Structure 1
């Protein structure tokens, strides 16, 4: 007999549309007397994956929602729930993104304006936070630096990082802070699990797929692949395969215009020399 979900594991339908969809799928399954295994056959997933959807750890996709609507003759209810969830704001997105980040095995990161949080020095991160409207910069700084512990794991994630030149030569804090930050980048780029490339600000590059803003793609055995895009005050977590693929295409297009690792290293060194 399957283990009953605890109250803490159950989705909170009052908090966001994704949790409401998960809650209602579980409600309908139990109401109709279906096992997790039987429902899994309908939406083409395992019993364990059904449990993850019902607990809110995984999300329904559009095809699964359509299958549920056909099974229970809901008048497209699940499809519409997934659609509204995918376009709306979820206050839990950033927290969910952090959990996925810690479980990730591969990350592809594009940063348009600042150094990625995983590679920021304490001084650089503090200068950024003090210049923002962050209500608790000390706490946020501590949390950000703690996130970097995943780089010290025995098996850290593989990182491919594309940095816009804006992130390298926009003054943050002081010349000393920027020099230390760029030195940290070069140090991290020596790791076997890190690829660091720069997108130069030149006429040859011109308009590119990264002008819309920063984003990252994360993948791992436990969750497949997800994308997270940043915006002022809130980010957006994307998990539907078509949308994630779109971010993957954007990343590849930016990558096609970026310098190779050697040229990127030399450009960062050039900026460091100018700060002395």
Structure 2
């Protein structure tokens, strides 16, 4: 007799998803293989998700809803599942980020998480989470859905020029990432400025930070170290960092100048044939 692993639906969002998937599939009279065929995946993958060995993607959840006619049940649940895959110390920030009306961030080395491509995110996350890359990338892409809302938060990003030059994942990944940044040029809710090297000493040299503003709750300041995040609503901290951020905005290139610099770096450094790789012409 085949042993079926029993899940506790109250243990975690992932356990609940697997429990409900098995229950609804069996209620529909389908085997794992039959459901897999209906949603364009293997029966093995269905089984792995039912037993929490794999984390479902949003696409998987939407296809299950369509196949089992579950009225969006799994599509609603998958957001909780993916958020639970974020590092435990990061989850409180992610919850507040999702509620913010205005997000302003300074990034000193990396592209901000809400603007990362899947390939760039995978290269970053693979360093610290080599066995959880797919799950972590899916969770990061889920975070980005706040920018697709009918009323998205206003996002203002000041990014150090070094983030354009630090090669993450290789030249092709960087070319794709910078091209993705340029897609936000005409987005009225996303503003991106690059802080050039020539600025010298500036208000963000102590490291990356983010400030969240809400419609009816106090502002929050967030920064993180290697393995933990720090979030505070201390009015004095908010005041000091707000002034510091305004100085960064004033010092950085304009959004138009920033887009031009990003495009130039994308082609000169990560294009089909960068200057340092070009063949010498006799």
Provide TM-score, normalisation by structure 2: 0.62
Instruction: Give the equivalent residue in structure 2 for 1:239.
Output: 233
Distance, in Å, in 2 between the alignment partners of 1:101 and 1:135 is 26
CA-based RMSD of the aligned residues comes to 1.6
Provide the residue aligned with 1:149 in structure 2. 145
Q: Displacement, 1:133?
A: 5.1
- In the TM superposition, 1:66-77 aligns within 5 A as none
Structure 1 partner of 2:79: none
Is the aligned partner of 1:250 residue 2:244?
yes
Are 1:110 and 2:106 matched, yes or no? yes
Q: Give secondary structure in 1 for the equivalent of 2:203.
A: coil
Deviations 1:130-186, CA, capped at 9 Å, x for gaps: 123566333221111100000010000001110000111111111110010001101
Matched position secondary structure for 2:191: strand
Matches of 2:249 and 2:213, distance apart in 1: 18
Q: Is the 8 A contact 2:184 2:191 kept in 1?
A: no
Aligned to 2:136: 140
Per-residue CA distance 1:28-77 (angstroms, 9 max, x = gap):
xxxxxxxxxxxxxxxxxxxxxxxxxxxxxxxxxxxxxxxxxxxxxxxxxx
Pairing of 1:110-129 with structure 2 (within 5 A):
110-129=106-125
TM-superposed CA distance for 1:189, in Å, is: 2.8
Say if 2:122 and 2:133, in contact at 8 Å, map to a contact too: yes
Using the alignment, how far apart are the partners of 1:253 and 1:230 within structure 2?
Answer: 21
Count of residues paired in the alignment: 184
Cα distance, 1:130–1:151 mapped onto 2, change above 3 Å: same
**1:81 alignment partner in structure 2:** none
| TM-score (structure 1 length as normaliser) | 0.64
Relative contact order (C-alpha < 8 Å, sep 6+): which is higher? 1
- Which SS does the other structure have where 1:229 is aligned? strand
The counterpart of 1:230, out of the listed 219, 224, 231, is: 224
In the alignment, structure 1 residue 261 sits paired with structure 2 residue 252: no
User: What is aligned with 1:216?
Assistant: 210
